[in-house]
Structure 1
Amino acid sequence: MGRRKSKEHADIRQVGPDAPADAASPGTRSPRLFVDRWYGKLILLLVGTILLTLAYAPFYQFWAAWIGLVPLIVVTSRTKGTWRAAFWGWLAGVLFFSANVWWLLTITGPGVIALVFWLGIYWAVAAAVLRPIVRTVTTAATGIELADTTGDHEAMEPNGTVASLRLLLVFPVLWVGAEWVRGNWPFYGFSWFNLSYSQTPVLHLCQIADLLGEHGISFWVAMINALAALFIFNGWRFRGLLRPVLVVCGVLVAVGIYGVWRFAQTESHLLPGPTVLLVQPNIPQSNSGDKGAPMEDLIDFHVAQTNAAMKERPDADLAVWSETMMPEMNAEFAASMASLGLASRDAERAKREIAQLARRYKVSLLVGGSFAGRVKLVSTDPRMPMVEKAGRRNSAYYFLRDTGELADRFDKIHLVPFGEYIPFEESFPWLYRQLIALGPPNMEDYQLDRGERAKIFLLPKDRQPATQPVAADKAWRFVTSICFEDADADLNAWHFRGGGGRGSVDAKQADFIVNISNDGWFKLTMMPQHFQVATLRSIENRVPTVRSVNTGISGFIDSLGRSRNDLVIPANTEGTLASSIMLDSRTTFFTRWGNWIGPGCALGLGLVGVGNVVKRRRARRAGAASNGGAA
């Protein structure tokens, strides 16, 4: 009984000049706190999950993100050993992502379990690296040092102010570093639920995204969490926390002033832009890829809706149809079919109907559709020949307003892992087969190739037929993101540099973003979260965004990240919406240079982690030498 009880209590050593003479002797039991019990830790992590969930759409309680990570920091401070800190950090991530990516269950149950377990690893790394930092703070605040049950003793900093400032600055670095890695590796990453997205209800505090990108916002949110944790460690006393409070207040004031300034100067930089028509079909989808309607019905619906809307808004310059609504309309597909003596009636009809719309109403059209590079005949039944498509892509087709011709195409670059491609097909075939088994039905038949080039589309300002290709100075310029590409901040900035490297342009190369998406597989919370993600791309590049999404939310976002209720089509409804957009002449630091805060924090995460290992080894050597001398 005594042995069991001793394991439930950590040894303590009181440090500092006021420590009693016998304080250094081990064996004294520390006060037993609620958070020291396993269920106390679990309850705190559940509280953190609830707070962070409330912070994002559709709840929009942005303030909850300011304290949502405090339970994780507190739990990490009361763990005995790095591996235990990693476990509790991992569990915190699993709880949060389980509560918030459940909408992927409509695609694959086993895949969601695997994804959630994987995403928890990023939180585990952050917690493991954080542990020595946060334990330093608790020691300095209480004068009590928790000793490792393993006997490995970390050197503690008795200066409370130094320790507090260290946590205040290091925790955001660790968290943003893990956040950036999660959004990029492996397999293009998963950047959903970055802290920054939760702050869109307070747009004045989000304007620094045009300097620092989304991770600049995440940084100051993480800093507030660190300050809140410091107050808990300090027994809710203000004494000793003046400098950390001043630092955080200074950062928030600077961020707020910058936001107010950016808002105030916007009017003088706005220019009239085109009128854009959005079509939201609200076609149900299944996890097998079925559209929920035959292709001829999809063509009929979009043509009829566009016809009706153009009669109401004949001034529209561009009509946008959502992702993957149309068949393969590329020339390579048509040529490959012709070589087999076949024709794609759906593709030919779609091109013909779209061209007629363009010529009739003098409107350009951007249409989401499929792409196939070549086909192979797999059934020679003359009544119903069947072909196998290869070189498939997810594409946006652009039809010009003056002639109705198919002028250009953009192929999606950032593919969704396990949704649009499965890795390891050639390198690890056995793993590839297991991943296929975890996916939705027919997953192996829906593998896409990625595009490679940025594409800037030119939208003619003149409604009269052109005698020659439109000049850039007589056209509005726009770039396209398809589906989850609007969650890739660096990719969008790259588009606005015309595909150039960082710092390669003095002015952005396009005027606005057109996002086409198909969220028909997902339910409820995913749609407003996707709209929330798109908001930051407008701020980062100072451009309006227009979104045409199959099941919603379609709508308009201005260059400050603002959207109006009357300029969105709600989720799970069909309809059309047209509005003129205002262009912003400002070119941002982020557009020129892309994301640098995220990679910098990832480097910081690695350096702090290595530093922890080095300190731990030195402490072990010192302890071994001391024990040897004592012997």
Structure 2
Amino acid sequence: MPDATLRPAGAGGIAAGRPGHRLASRLATLTGWRRYAAAAAFGGLATFALPPAGAVPVLLLAFPGLLWLLEGTATRRAAFFTGWWFGFGHFVLGLYWISFALLTDVAKFWWMMPFAIAGLPALLAIFIGLATLVLHIVCGRLKLSGLARILAFAIVWTVFEYLRGHVFTGFPWNLIGYSWTGFLPVLQSVAVIGIYGLGLLTVAVAALPALLPDPSESVMRARASVAVGLVLLGAMGLAGWVRLSQADSATVPGVRLRVVQPAIPQTLKWVPSEKARNFERLLELTAEPAAAGTAPVTHVVWPETAVPFFVERDGGARQAMASVTPPGGSIITGAPRIRVEEDGENRFWNSLHAVDGSGAVVASFDKFHLVPFGEYMPLRGILPVGGIAAGATDFSSGPGPATLDVPGLPPFSPLICYEVIFPGAVKDFHNRPDWLLNVTNDAWYGKTAGPHQHFEIARVRAVEEGLPLVRAANTGISGIFDGYGRVTAYLGLGERGVVDADLPVMLPITPYGRFGDIILVLLLMSFSLVTTIARQTR
């Protein structure tokens, strides 16, 4: 069979003697568990393109490998499960770190380990399975092959990746476009097309080598398509390089931030006997003198739930904070918030407060995008167990993105924990902030890939919006990005300390910041048009 031409329904087939035909034909003839094991392996391979590894070239094998496996699928069921196993391998390896959160209380949450390790990847893999199923149906009915099939694959992948980011509250973690976070020139494109648009182009280019053994395309056209794809990425990189070469490093006059990273182990964070000591550690780090010859600190940022008390009700905690607050400035901190309802029930929020030098709360914000099974239990009626972070009572959600005004600071948009992962939903569109503030606690995940991925995802939001982003983590990883995604301050995973830095200025509003995913729709329409042309001219 390796030397034959394989032509399943709706596929271009594999021709003998063409580049890559032996590997392609071998993959296309796999059946049963061998096909699915290979799909899972290619999905796992694609994970290495993402942070922290950033080995983007592996996609040039992972996506063609998936398409070659799909060449041999004659049924819709096989097409779905080939994609599903690719997704399962991809998400098991890329999201293994989520299970580490359960280790903070194994006796209580042991039953959730299988769900965290395999259940969540199994659910997320459905989106990729549906993408390959739709590809199989579309290619069969429209007789798509060659370049048209490659472009159709990129379209359906992007559509279902977008759905993954929005359906059932959404989980747009490890989108394929994040492969470029280590390559700032290419990453600049998200200022125009967003992370989903970058993912669309990435999948299309990475899948082009699948054309090389395809008999529906001439060798010359197949090679030319691959070359054009690589040239496109090169042009994007060149445009990004030009943008970065013209960037300045202007900062906001009169603003000097201190980002505090206390590095408190999650196992000790909420222990009653440790709460006071944890709070004192924050005060001590805040009170440390600035480096000689540097401007004085004007404002301090603490991480998510840094204060283990209800700040609005605890005057003693506010006065302690006021004692180390810079003159005329404030401390911005994460903390839980409570309100007693008329029926006597307590409601809780994961919140952020700004406390000034008098001990007054001058601004507050409630987290609006809560973590399922972490901050609330979606199936509480069936599983009467509290969320991992929330405990016995669910957190309530806030009203949505907001722009806060704190004396002495430009207006900013707060983002608590994973609120930063949602493209296009990090600011109030009617009141654009000057910068973004992300407070988080990644200590749940230890020294795994999770905190690195979270940090790089935050970088992309800065580039998309053209807004500097300040990130304060309990541990892993704190820092500051400018509107180009360049790191201007950094505290590594597990480090305890502070970093003092100026606040970069905001950039003019980016096309993505102005139009959001409307640009993605136009890009998908353009791909559909090119797909039609490629189908008619093959």
Q: TM-score range by the shorter chain?
A: 0.7 to 0.9
Equivalent residue in structure 1 for 2:422, among 480, 488, 492:
488
Report how far residue 295 of structure 1 moved.
2.1
Equivalent residue in structure 2 for 1:41, among 35, 42, 60:
35
Pair 1:515-2:438 in alignment: yes
SS at match of 1:581: strand
Report how far residue 94 of structure 1 moved.
1.2
Pair 1:445-2:396 in alignment: no
SS at match of 1:239: helix
Pair 1:405-2:372 in alignment: no
Q: Which amino acid aligns with 1:363?
A: G
Q: Structure 1's 170 and 292: CA in aligned 2 closer, same or farther, altered over 3 A?
A: farther
Tell me if the contact between 2:416 and 2:439 (Cα under 8 Å) persists in the aligned partners. Answer: yes
In structure 1, what is the Cα distance between the partners aligned to 2:8 and 2:389?
58
Aligned to 2:18: none
Q: Structure 1's 271 and 318: CA in aligned 2 closer, same or farther, altered over 3 A?
A: closer
Report how far residue 416 of structure 1 moved.
1.0
In structure 1, what is the Cα distance between the partners aligned to 2:335 and 2:258?
18
Per-residue deviation, residues 586-622 of structure 1 (Å, max 9, x unmatched): 1112222222355678999999xxx9xxxxxxxxxxx
Equivalent residue in structure 2 for 1:532, among 448, 456, 471:
456
Aligned to 1:418: 373
Q: Structure 1's 183 and 14: CA in aligned 2 closer, same or farther, altered over 3 A?
A: closer
Tell me if the contact between 2:256 and 2:501 (Cα under 8 Å) persists in the aligned partners. Answer: yes
Pair 1:370-2:375 in alignment: no
Structure 1 residue runs of 5 or longer lacking an equivalent are 17-30, 137-153, 158-162, 335-346, 378-387, 462-474, 499-508, 612-631
Q: Which amino acid aligns with 1:351?
A: R
Corresponding residue pairs, total: 502
Q: Structure 1's 390 and 314: CA in aligned 2 closer, same or farther, altered over 3 A?
A: farther
SS at match of 2:317: helix
Aligned to 1:343: none
Q: Structure 1's 310 and 363: CA in aligned 2 closer, same or farther, altered over 3 A?
A: farther
SS at match of 2:376: coil
Report how far residue 13 of structure 1 moved.
9.1
Pair 1:58-2:40 in alignment: no
Per-residue deviation, residues 526-559 of structure 1 (Å, max 9, x unmatched): 1111111011011011122111101211112121
Equivalent residue in structure 2 for 1:282, among 259, 263, 272:
263
Tell me if the contact between 2:50 and 2:56 (Cα under 8 Å) persists in the aligned partners. Answer: yes
Aligned to 1:166: 148
Tell me if the contact between 1:553 and 1:569 (Cα under 8 Å) persists in the aligned partners. Answer: yes
SS at match of 2:467: coil
- The aligned runs of 1:141-152 (5 Å cut-off) are none
- The aligned runs of 1:259-338 (5 Å cut-off) are 259-267=240-248, 272=253, 274-286=255-267, 290=270, 294-310=274-290, 315-329=296-310, 331=312, 334=313
Q: Which amino acid aligns with 1:156?
A: K
- The aligned runs of 1:548-559 (5 Å cut-off) are 548-559=472-483
Aligned to 2:114: 110
Q: Structure 1's 593 and 293: CA in aligned 2 closer, same or farther, altered over 3 A?
A: farther
TM-score (norm 2): 0.83
Aligned to 2:316: 349
Aligned to 1:180: 162
Tell me if the contact between 1:176 and 1:598 (Cα under 8 Å) persists in the aligned partners. Answer: no
Aligned to 2:204: 223
In structure 1, what is the Cα distance between the partners aligned to 2:444 and 2:233?
39
In structure 2, what is the Cα distance between the partners aligned to 1:33 and 1:573?
49
- The aligned runs of 1:61-210 (5 Å cut-off) are 61-106=55-100, 107=102, 108-112=112-116, 113-132=118-137, 156=143, 163-186=145-168, 188-210=169-191
In structure 2, what is the Cα distance between the partners aligned to 1:174 and 1:56?
20
In structure 2, what is the Cα distance between the partners aligned to 1:396 and 1:363?
16
In structure 2, what is the Cα distance between the partners aligned to 1:586 and 1:155?
44
Equivalent residue in structure 2 for 1:571, among 489, 493, 496:
493
In structure 1, what is the Cα distance between the partners aligned to 2:493 and 2:25?
50
Select the structure of larger CA radius of gyration: 1
Q: Structure 1's 329 and 575: CA in aligned 2 closer, same or farther, altered over 3 A?
A: same
Tell me if the contact between 2:127 and 2:160 (Cα under 8 Å) persists in the aligned partners. Answer: yes
Q: Which amino acid aligns with 2:511?
A: F
Q: Structure 1's 67 and 532: CA in aligned 2 closer, same or farther, altered over 3 A?
A: farther
SS at match of 2:374: coil
Q: Structure 1's 65 and 14: CA in aligned 2 closer, same or farther, altered over 3 A?
A: closer
Pair 1:477-2:432 in alignment: no
Aligned to 1:589: 511
SS at match of 1:368: strand
Q: Structure 1's 198 and 442: CA in aligned 2 closer, same or farther, altered over 3 A?
A: closer
Q: Structure 1's 375 and 110: CA in aligned 2 closer, same or farther, altered over 3 A?
A: farther
Q: Structure 1's 400 and 267: CA in aligned 2 closer, same or farther, altered over 3 A?
A: same
In structure 2, what is the Cα distance between the partners aligned to 1:289 and 1:116?
29
SS at match of 2:370: coil
Tell me if the contact between 2:441 and 2:474 (Cα under 8 Å) persists in the aligned partners. Answer: yes
Aligned to 1:344: none
Aligned to 1:470: none
Overall identity of the aligned pairs, in %: 24
Per-residue deviation, residues 485-538 of structure 1 (Å, max 9, x unmatched): 11011211x33642xxxxxxxxxx322111100111113111111111011011
Tell me if the contact between 2:351 and 2:364 (Cα under 8 Å) persists in the aligned partners. Answer: yes
| Aligned alpha-carbon RMSD (Å) | 3.6
Aligned to 2:352: 396
Q: Which amino acid aligns with 1:488?
A: F
Tell me if the contact between 1:280 and 1:550 (Cα under 8 Å) persists in the aligned partners. Answer: yes
Tell me if the contact between 2:373 and 2:387 (Cα under 8 Å) persists in the aligned partners. Answer: no
In structure 2, what is the Cα distance between the partners aligned to 1:452 and 1:130?
38
Pair 1:233-2:166 in alignment: no
In structure 1, what is the Cα distance between the partners aligned to 2:528 and 2:229?
24
In structure 1, what is the Cα distance between the partners aligned to 2:452 and 2:272?
22
SS at match of 1:372: strand
Structure 2 residue runs of 5 or longer lacking an equivalent are 13-23, 103-111, 533-538
Per-residue deviation, residues 450-492 of structure 1 (Å, max 9, x unmatched): 110433233444xxxxxxxxxxxxx522221110011011211
In structure 2, what is the Cα distance between the partners aligned to 1:515 and 1:264?
27
TM-score (norm 1): 0.72
In structure 1, what is the Cα distance between the partners aligned to 2:289 and 2:273?
22
